[in-house]
A and B are shown apart, each in its own frame.
Chain A
Amino acid sequence: MELQVEQIVTWMEKTNEKIQDNKEYLTSLDQAIGDGDHGINMARGFKEVVQKVSGSDYESASDILKDVAMTLMGKVGGAAGPLYGTAFLKLSASVKGKKSIDCGSFVTGLEEALAGMKQRGKSEQGEKTLIDTWAPVTEEMKKAEDFDASLLFETAKTAMEKTKDIKATKGRAAYLGERSIGHLDPGSVSSYYLFTSLAETIRGGE
């Protein structure tokens, strides 16, 4: 299968629903180890994304992804804004001009998004950040022959849950050191919503 513009819209709508529904949960996760604004910021950003892309007429998948990137960058703020913004900008650039995206191109896009986020956040896997969801998802997707909803669900969920045991060394949670252990990383949880929304979108199209 290939991701069409309409499916990217659906992906964003589903992500937005999950983020709005879990706004307080994300905020409570962030209150435990950060400053408690992750749910609020992500909800503001994705609400704007949906307003921007729903009902718009996009020629190509790369155009809509670029608008998602610019909206997130301009509306989220904090660390999540530049990181999610960078991810979608890289994803968009790697499929530049493409009307729709096949699995191979999407995986290349994910790899570039991951590299972009690592560079922007000066962060690596294992530091209790959203990279800890993005990296395993990218790794598993590379092995898949086509978009695989179950694989996405499973990988994102396991990865997100694993962040509970990590001691934070990047981001604001790092200031808590050992006290960050036992808490999920809010950025990994919002990334989990993003990937499970993609899985649901794919499942809808299967």
Chain B
Amino acid sequence: MKKIINNPEEVVQDMLKGLIAAHPNSLKQIPNTTVIVRKGAPVPNKVGIVSGGGSGHEPAHAGYLGEGMLDAAVCGEMFTSPTPDQVFEAIKAVDSGSGVFLVIKNYTGDVMNFEMAAELAEAEGISVEKVVVNDDVAVEDSSFTTGRRGIAGTVFVHKIAGAKAAAGGSLQEVKDVAEKVVANVRSMGMALTPCTVPAAGKPSFTLDEDEMEIGIGIHGEPGIERKKLTSADEVAEELTQKVLDDIKFNSGDEVAVMINGMGSTPEMELYILNGKVQEILHERGLTIHKTFVGEYMTSLEMAGCSVTLLKLDKETKQLLDSDSNAPAFHS
């Protein structure tokens, strides 16, 4: 393992120290927690928006703190969901009395810990609502399984739910629009190399020089299928097609596109991929409203990418376009 760290057990604390030092005017850490709150929170009369999860997905989630997006991010250990007490601290810190909305990615641990925190908050009289994001089309969705994972599409939920809250939406209105985004967002990812969790010290799986892993999540775990590496165009075809097959898109639909890097994919490769993705979408008669290319939801130094499509309507389009000063959200 070759990493710029001090002690593998202290990477999260060390990261948070540096993060706060980089954004002293906009972010603060709640003392003795791994909770990062945007300065000025709680915003009077505004629904507080909280998200989070394991660390190692930077800029998610702390990078999305700001006006029109998240109010607090709860940073768990590496790839490990934060504990209920931490999430509870975040909820308390951003509640203005208008309630708090939780954006949770569909991983067993995240769902359990956030639900427990919501129970603690409700016991103290704080209104809490939540949405569970499950945009990953790689995995089977049935009532007998854990269901689909939440991956890069979560960032669109942050943006649109955050914008709704900033516009004065009630807790129920924020929940409604967040659910609409979840119903209309789909993603699919792939990897060229695995990543190494500092405390584990070695890669989570191995891939030969000519192999790729299709259908990965964001925790360095293996995907659903291992294949021979193909061209960027073929990778774009495979990922985009899987997304398009999963949700009904009609000619003329407007979409937002996100080509997300997993941590160590050059922007050049993401743009190469994007070129083909856009071509495919044009062929399908879809209108591309906005495109996001870059690192939004990473998996440490994993090389790879994911393709996310969000089908927009008038409301979600307007909320996606509204201003936000979150440092990591830009198109």
Give residues in A with beta carbon < 8 Å to B. Answer: 27, 31, 34-37, 40-41, 44, 73-83, 120-121, 169-172, 174-177, 179
Find chain A residues with CB under 8 A from B109 CB.
77-82
Within residues 201 to 236 of chain B, which ones have a CB less than 8 A from any CB in chain A? Answer: 204-205, 217, 219-222, 224
Contact call B80/A77, Cβ cutoff below 8 A: yes
Contact call A175/B80, Cβ cutoff below 8 A: no
Which segment of B58-66, B81-89, B282-290, B320-328 sits at the interface? B81-89
In the complex, what residue of chain A is closest to B196 when comparing beta carbons? Answer: A36
Known: A36-B197, A77-B83, A78-B109. A175 touches B204 (CB 8 A): no
Interface SS majority for chain B: loop
**Distance A34 CA – B109 CA, assembled complex (angstroms):** 12
Known: A40-B77, A77-B82, A79-B108. A177 touches B200 (CB 8 A): no
Find chain A residues with CB under 8 A from B80 CB.
37, 40-41, 77-78
In the complex, what residue of chain A is closest to B9 when comparing beta carbons? Answer: A44
Contact call A73/B85, Cβ cutoff below 8 A: yes
Contact call A170/B83, Cβ cutoff below 8 A: no
Known: A36-B197, A77-B113, A78-B80. A172 touches B144 (CB 8 A): no
**Distance A31 CA – B146 CA, assembled complex (angstroms):** 18
Option from B85, B112, B217, B222 in Cβ contact (under 8 Å) with A179: B222
Whether B76 is near chain A, meaning CB under 8 Å from some CB there, is yes
Interface SS majority for chain A: helix
With both chains docked as a complex, state the minimum distance between the C-beta of A166 and any C-beta of chain B, in angstroms: 13
Interface residue count for B (Cβ, 8 Å)? 36
Known: A36-B197, A37-B80. A174 touches B204 (CB 8 A): no
In the complex, what residue of chain B is closest to A120 when comparing beta carbons? Answer: B112
Option from B85, B140, B199, B219 in Cβ contact (under 8 Å) with A177: B140
Find chain B residues with CB under 8 A from A177 CB.
140, 224
Option from B9, B112, B200 in Cβ contact (under 8 Å) with A79: B112
Whether B107 is near chain A, meaning CB under 8 Å from some CB there, is yes
In the complex, what residue of chain B is closest to A177 when comparing beta carbons? Answer: B140
**Distance A82 CA – B200 CA, assembled complex (angstroms):** 22
Contact call A31/B204, Cβ cutoff below 8 A: yes
Within residues 15 to 64 of chain B, which ones have a CB less than 8 A from any CB in chain A? Answer: 54
With both chains docked as a complex, state the minimum distance between the C-beta of B86 and any C-beta of chain A, in angstroms: 8
Contact call B81/A175, Cβ cutoff below 8 A: no
Give residues in B with beta carbon < 8 Å to A. Answer: 9, 54, 76-85, 107-109, 112-113, 116, 138-140, 144-146, 149, 197, 199-200, 204-205, 217, 219-222, 224
**Distance A5 CA – B273 CA, assembled complex (angstroms):** 61
In the complex, what residue of chain A is closest to B77 when comparing beta carbons? Answer: A77
Find chain B residues with CB under 8 A from A36 CB.
79, 197, 200, 204, 220-221
**Distance A157 CA – B222 CA, assembled complex (angstroms):** 28
Contact call B81/A77, Cβ cutoff below 8 A: yes
With both chains docked as a complex, state the minimum distance between the C-beta of B82 and any C-beta of chain A, in angstroms: 6
Find chain A residues with CB under 8 A from B79 CB.
35-37
In the complex, what residue of chain B is closest to A80 when comparing beta carbons? Answer: B109
**Distance A170 CA – B221 CA, assembled complex (angstroms):** 15
Contact call A40/B199, Cβ cutoff below 8 A: yes
Contact call A172/B83, Cβ cutoff below 8 A: no
With both chains docked as a complex, state the minimum distance between the C-beta of A113 and any C-beta of chain B, in angstroms: 15
**Distance A36 CA – B200 CA, assembled complex (angstroms):** 7
Name 29 interchain pairs, CB-CB below 8 A, sorted by A: A27-B200, A31-B205, A34-B221, A36-B200, A37-B78, A37-B79, A37-B197, A40-B78, A40-B200, A41-B80, A74-B84, A78-B54, A78-B81, A78-B109, A79-B107, A79-B109, A81-B81, A81-B109, A81-B113, A82-B84, A82-B109, A82-B113, A170-B146, A175-B138, A175-B139, A175-B146, A175-B221, A176-B224, A177-B140
Find chain B residues with CB under 8 A from A31 CB.
200, 204-205
Contact call B112/A121, Cβ cutoff below 8 A: yes
In the complex, what residue of chain A is closest to B146 when comparing beta carbons? Answer: A174
Find chain B residues with CB under 8 A from A37 CB.
54, 77-80, 197, 199-200
